[in-house]
Structure 1
Amino acid sequence: MPTALLSIGVLAAVLVVATIRPVNMGVLGLVAAFVVGSLVGGESPDEVLAAFPAELFVVLVGVTYLFAIARANGTVQWIVEATFRLAGGRTSAIPWVFFLLSTAICGIGALPPAVGAILMPIAMSFAATHGIRPLLVSILVGLGSTAGSFAPTGLLGIIVRGVQVDNGLATDPLVLFGSTFVIGTAVAVATYVLLARRQTPAPDGPGAATAPPATAKLNLQQGLTLLGFVVLTVGALVFGLDIGFLALTVAAALALAFPAASRTAVKEVSWDIILLMAGILTFVGVLQRNGTIGWLGATVTAVDAPLIAAFLICLIGAVVSAFASTTGILGAVIPLSVPLIATGEIGAIGFVAALAISSSLVDVSPFSTGGAIAMANAPEPERPAIYRGLLRFSAAMAIVGPLLSWSVLIAPGWL
């Protein structure tokens, strides 16, 4: 028990320090793995690194490298322009265009902060020009990320499935995607209904918008990049090919065929996220070997109400994720929840989906990367109002997300 309590204390310290200081949580995770595994548990460096997620490393590198190439060669910009045509000249449709863009781009492997960096400046420009509330478009961009990121080809979907497999949990990528998409969309609809009523009339007339720019024709490189995304999706979902090596293969083929546009793509790979996951999962491996997970299992099985425990875990995940990395929270909490799932009263698929929803609906918190990007790109006079609005929204989602996902996905026991 003393080692288990020490390990949990170190994990809590990692989460707290990474929240209040600008230090990558993965770096702290690797240090914690060394301290607890080597200095406390007497493990060798090779034993400490036994749980280093090599397969997940390949997946993350492959998917983010492919997306970096797509951004560099203009494919992402083409997708943005093509989707804007869906607005059909109606201001009321513009927030939903941003929602769909965010969903689609996250669904093909982009990280939510990257999507925010791409879309938020455009969204705020449209909002200012056409009398749309900046708060509304910023929230819908964030919710679109939630709706798309857990797709089977989305980065968070890939990460969650990898953590489930590594911990022997049942997986269903389509249920994970379907539940996060449906609930994310439902929250977006409710947000739109509440906020759209308060919009300022568009300067060029009710509901009118300047026609979006004509979408340029796809060039050969962009067409092949889109084909690469199709190959990635079909290969992974239909033929069961390893998505990491498949993404690397597609990216390497594009880099060989078009080296100029791919030259800087490696620098844009999400190395910070890769380091974060590698560090956290390596530390979780130490916790598994030193008996912390087993001790938690004994503690959880002594609780008479596993359903209440599951709700509290989702609630904690939501609150912490509003200040810290959603990716890191999922990577740390899912393994620690294995004993709870082992009681047999909580379904693994439903619980993980509920935790994913709870942890991601708060991602537009003003203390998160997405919220910070939104405020940075908003008109200066609007920033205090956007800060208050994002704070209220994320506080509400920290309660609504766990309650809604728990009620739908955990309590009925159908997953």
Structure 2
Amino acid sequence: MSIEIVAIIVLLVMFIIGAIFPINIGIIGFVAAFIMGVVVSGLSVDDIFNAFPADLFVLLSGVTFLFAIVQKNGTIDLISRWGLLLVRGNTGLIPWVMFALGALLTSIGTSAIAAASILIPIALRIANQYKINPLMMGLMLLIGVTAGGFSPLHLFGVVVNGMMDSQNIPHSPGLLFLNTFILCVIVAIIVFILFSGLRKFIRKDSVKHYSAAATEIIDINVNQEEESSEDSLKERLTWYKGFTLIGIALLVILALGYNVHMGFAAFGVGLVLSLIAPKRQEGVLQSIPWPIILMVTGIVTYVGVLEQIGVIKYMTHLIAGMNNPIIATLTASYIGGIISSFASTTGFLAAIIPLAIPILKDPHVSSIGVISSISFASSIVDISPFSTNGAMLLANAQGMNQNEFFRKLLIASVCFIALGPGLAWVIFVVIGTPW
């Protein structure tokens, strides 16, 4: 049995152990990375350290640190009240607002990680406060982020279109964006219905929520001198919440406007807010989900070792050996879904296109259909708790036990991996789009 197959089996065993026993899978990942990398494959310990996702660690810990402060001082409660005013009290519209915001940010070129990092903490806090299923809210947001991901301005679109240009393969950036966007909308509708989102449109307490929110916001402007309860005060704009809102805006400007690393920017903004009100920081560090960060970094470290020993290249090269372009596209789509749920979507897209040239140049299939199928399959699975965006979702889970949220998110990821690539393949390759 080849080392590549053994490494994949070890990965599957890790998930089985993590599902049966109350053991952090990240610890298993670190141990497996050492055994498979150093003991079995002959890598050095430095190679294992190189596989550690320091970028992801800083991102997760920095963003969760900042939003632990934001949540503790009540600013997210304030934002959520304002957000409810915008949808006029209809909580059923909130997931779609998050979908639209995610799609808008990524379609104009914002990094998917940056967009998700900014929106996820706010979205899940709102979901918790207004009794919206947090998993549905998170999925809708990340599907929206994916919907805008293949815009000609976004990194995914740039990579795919650039690789197609370099290989002289006919393609259309506009059609790639349209195909993936429409399919993401369809998936979002399915998710919304399956999670009973339609009921939110006819909730009898929506008007009550709206009225209460509106009253509290008006109180800020016209009833400042009245005595209020502690809960009401939490939802009023104070000087510290004002500084916090400025800090969030600064984070967005630094990350999106100046390409400052989101994690370091979040640490910097959080540090300033801590210095402004140091006595209010008790319990903030304890609020950072360290077990989740350990789990994600451990798994990603193991996947990094798999890449170093050639497992990723081994799987992608399987595609090149197939003669049937339709079956080869289906295989490539599923491989893309599986690999991208653990590894870099951008990296996989850059690797798969040169290997899929025989498929893309086959006159019996549409090259734009093939690349749309592979692109959608490789990106829709970014909800996985072992991808960066999915990890951010898990790290900010509210409204349910984190282990329960992890299990449900993992189940959703498996469903997306099982059904997403097949759906894209049927629509874009087997049936074909009318345009």
- CA displacement at 1:398 relative to structure 2: 6.2
Partner of 1:141: 137
Judged with a 3 Å threshold, the aligned counterparts in structure 2 of structure 1 residues 351 and 236 are, in CA distance, closer, same or farther, namely: farther
Match of 1:76 in 2: 76
1:312 aligns with 2:334: yes
| DSSP-derived class of the 2:71 partner | helix
The aligned counterpart of 1:128 is none
Match of 1:343 among 342, 350, 355: 355
1:53 paired residue number? 53
Contact 1:284 1:335 in 2 (8 A): no
2:342 partner letter: L
1:53-132 to 2 correspondence within 5 Å?
53-88=53-88, 93-97=90-94, 99-100=96-97, 107=115, 109=117, 118-120=125-127, 122-124=129-131
Report the structure number with the largest CA radius of gyration.
2
In the TM superposition, what is the alpha-carbon distance from 1:122 to its structure 2 partner? 3.8
CA deviation profile, 1:333-365 (whole Å, cap 9, x unmatched): 8867875344144799984654332453999xx
Distance of aligned partners of 1:86 and 1:252 in 2 relative to their CA distance in 1, 3 Å threshold: same
TM-score, normalised by the number of residues in structure 2: 0.62
Matched, 1:262 2:262: no
Match among 286, 303, 311 for residue 322 of structure 2: 303
The question of 1:251 aligning with 2:270 is answered yes
Point out the more displaced range, 208-217 or 66-75. Answer: 208-217
The separation in 2 between residues aligned to 1:19 and 1:242, in whole angstroms, is: 34
Whether the aligned pair in 2 keeps the contact of 1:4 and 1:292 (CA below 8 Å) is yes
Residue 396 to residue 288, structure 1, CA distance change in 2 (3 Å)? closer
Task: Name the CA distance, whole Å, in 1 between partners of 2:3 and 2:261.
Answer: 37
CA 1:42–1:236 in structure 2 vs 1: closer, same or farther (change >3 Å)? same
Q: 1:408 to 1:25 in 2, by over 3 A?
A: farther
Question: For residue 10 of structure 2, what is the aligned residue in structure 1?
Answer: 10
Question: 2-side partners of 1:293 and 1:197: how far apart?
Answer: 41
Does the CA-based 8 Å contact 1:99-1:144 persist in structure 2? Answer: yes
Paired residue type of 1:86: L
Cα 1:351–1:359 change in 2 (3 A) is same
> How far has the Cα of 1:184 moved from its partner?
5.3
Instruction: Compute the TM-score of the two structures, normalised by the length of structure 1.
Output: 0.65
C-alpha distance after superposition, 1:281-331 (max 9, x if no partner): 3222322332333433433321334421233236658xxxxxxxxxx9333
1:11-38 residue CA offsets vs partner (Å, 9 max, x unmatched): 2222333344443332221111111112
Maintained 8 Å contact 2:381/2:413: no
Cα deviation per residue 1:213-259 (whole Å; 9 max; x = unaligned)? 32344212212222222212222222222222111111111111122
Aligned partner of 2:311 in structure 1 is 292
Amino acid at match of 1:146: L
SS in 1 for 2:212: coil
Paired AA for residue 332 in structure 2: A
- Give SS of 2:304's match: helix
Q: For residue 273 of structure 1, report the CA deviation from its aligned partner.
A: 3.4
Partner Cα separation in structure 2 for residue 6 and residue 69 of structure 1:
44
1:404 to partner: Cα distance: 4.9
- Specify the alignment match of 2:167 in structure 1: none
User: What residue identity is the alignment partner of 1:96?
Assistant: L
CA distance in 2, matches of 1:341, 1:24: 35
Q: Is the 8 A contact 2:334 2:422 kept in 1?
A: no
CA RMSD in angstroms, aligned pairs only: 5.0
CA distance, structure 2, for counterparts of residue 37 and residue 393 of structure 1: 30
Q: Quick check: 2:319–2:356 contact (8 Å CA) kept in 1?
A: no
Equivalent positions of 1:8-407 (< 5 A) are 8-88=8-88, 93-97=90-94, 99-100=96-97, 107=115, 109=117, 118-120=125-127, 122-124=129-131, 140-147=136-143, 186-189=186-189, 209=208, 211-213=211-213, 214-215=216-217, 216-304=235-323, 305=325, 306-313=328-335, 329-331=341-343, 339-345=351-357, 351=374, 354-358=377-381, 360=383, 401-405=420-424
Counterparts in 2 of 1:202 and 1:67: CA distance versus 1, 3 Å:
closer
Separation in structure 1 between the aligned mates of residue 380 and residue 414 of structure 2, nearest angstrom: 14
Q: Aligned pair in 2 of structure 1 residues 362, 51: CA closer, same or farther (>3 Å)?
A: closer
The match for 1:387 is: none
Moved more, 59-68 or 335-344: 335-344
* Contiguous gaps of at least 5 residues in structure 1: 125-133, 153-160, 171-175, 318-327, 377-389
**For each residue in 1:171-207, what CA deviation from the matched residue of structure 2 results, as whole angstroms up to 9, or x when unmatched?**
xxxxx99998875555445666796777897668xx8
Unaligned runs of 5+ residues in structure 2 are: 103-113, 149-154, 165-175, 218-234, 361-369, 387-392, 402-408
One-letter amino acid of the counterpart of residue 142, structure 2: T
Instruction: Tell me, in whole angstroms, the C-alpha distance in 1 between the residues paired with 2:418 and 2:309.
Output: 34
Distance in 2 between the 1:280 and 1:394 partners?
A: 15
Identity of paired residues, percent?
27
C-alpha change, 1:119 and 1:290, in structure 2 (3 Å) is same
Distance (whole Å) between structure 1 residues aligned to residue 9 and residue 345 of structure 2: 14
Structure-1 separation of matches of 2:338 and 2:60: 26
User: Is the 1:358–1:402 contact (alpha carbons within 8 Å) kept by the matching residues of 2?
Assistant: no
Range moving further from structure 2, 43-52 or 328-337: 328-337
Residues 30 and 282 in structure 1, CA contact (< 8 A), matched pair in contact too: yes
Change (3 A) 1:261 1:46: same
Could you list the per-position Cα deviations for residues 113-133 of structure 1 after superposition, in whole angstroms to 9, with x for gaps in the alignment?
A: x77874455434xxxxxxxxx
- With over 3 angstroms needed to count, the CA separation of the structure-2 counterparts of 1:248 and 1:359, relative to structure 1, is closer
Distance 2:178 2:22 in 1: 34
